[in-house]
Chains A and B, each alone.
Chain A
């Protein structure tokens, strides 16, 4: 049996890669996929720690994270499509209308 700390370490690495993706990419779709990467890393840590503590509550939390992620992706992609209709270009650096 692999110790759960290995899973938590892997999830920390995956989460950091998601953060890196949000920081270095310009395409909002890829930024969105990086956010999914981070959510998945958190799910992995939740399942691993839940199994370590011998409860099913970590898995219940993962279930809720899945629901929130599904809603978030649907709304977020709708927002990206609406922005694309307005601007005809997709780059997060150009969305600076609110800059003071």
Chain B
């Protein structure tokens, strides 16, 4: 049963990623991205990482996807990829290159990363994650706030219209 769930979610994830790559309209791409993010959240649930699944839906499918759709509406795109492609040959070359990359990735992953013995999975609720975040990773956690503040200030400086 769990294998069946995984298979359905994997097909959904790969299909929505393919939709993002193939659809010309960026708003369709954004909606496919939402499907993909929600599917990854469901995969987190099957891995018993419940807190991260909730955060994934809130931050990615909520905030980031809305930001993307908002940017698409501001920029009124849809005509960018219609003209002649100046790099057509290079783009066709991209497919075999990525295929080789995937093969190398599979070889690297298969050669020992997964070799060690499996241990029982940890519970993925807010308690386990919070315990790690506020003990071992306290300093990076605080630095994250500086990063987000820098992002806020940077975005305001970038998008301010000069009067």
- Of B47, B67, B98, the residue contacting A48 (CB under 8 A) is B47
Looking across the interface, which residue of chain A has its beta carbon closest to that of B110?
A: A5
Residues of chain B lying within 8 A (CB to CB) of residue A47? 44, 47, 49, 52
Near A by CB (< 8 A), chain B positions 98-128 give 98, 101-102, 105-106, 109, 113-114, 116, 118-122, 124, 128
Chain A contact patch, size range:
35 or more
Tell me the dominant secondary structure on chain B's binding face: helix
Shortest distance in angstroms between A94's beta carbon and chain B's nearest beta carbon?
Answer: 9
Residues of chain B lying within 8 A (CB to CB) of residue A33? 20, 26, 29-30, 33, 68
Shortest distance in angstroms between A28's beta carbon and chain B's nearest beta carbon?
Answer: 9
- Of B86, B119, B144, the residue contacting A93 (CB under 8 A) is B86
Shortest distance in angstroms between A57's beta carbon and chain B's nearest beta carbon?
Answer: 6
* Also in contact, A4 and B155, with CB within 8 A (given A20-B95, A70-B64): no
Asked whether, in the complex, the Cβ of A59 is within 8 Å of the Cβ of B52, the reply is yes
With an 8 A cutoff between CB atoms, is A98 at the interface?
A: no
Asked whether, in the complex, the Cβ of B52 is within 8 Å of the Cβ of A24, the reply is no
Tell me the dominant secondary structure on chain A's binding face: helix
Asked whether, in the complex, the Cβ of A70 is within 8 Å of the Cβ of B121, the reply is no
Looking across the interface, which residue of chain A has its beta carbon closest to that of B74?
A: A81
Asked whether, in the complex, the Cβ of A5 is within 8 Å of the Cβ of B114, the reply is yes
Report the Cα distance A18→B95, complex, angstroms: 12
Asked whether, in the complex, the Cβ of B98 is within 8 Å of the Cβ of A78, the reply is no
- Of B47, B106, B148, the residue contacting A12 (CB under 8 A) is B106
Asked whether, in the complex, the Cβ of B37 is within 8 Å of the Cβ of A60, the reply is no
Contact string against A for B residues 68-111, beta-carbon threshold 8 Å, 1 for contact and 0 otherwise: 10011011010011000111000100110110011001100100
Residues of chain B lying within 8 A (CB to CB) of residue A40? 36-37, 40, 60
Report the Cα distance A4→B150, complex, angstroms: 36
* Also in contact, A27 and B114, with CB within 8 A (given A47-B47, A57-B136): no
15 contacts between A and B (CB under 8 A): A6-B6, A10-B13, A14-B17, A14-B36, A16-B102, A24-B91, A27-B26, A40-B40, A53-B119, A63-B133, A70-B64, A70-B151, A73-B64, A75-B155, A80-B71
Considering the complex of A and B, which 6 residue pairs feature the smallest CB-CB distances, nearest first?
A: A54-B119, A71-B151, A23-B94, A78-B158, A51-B121, A16-B102
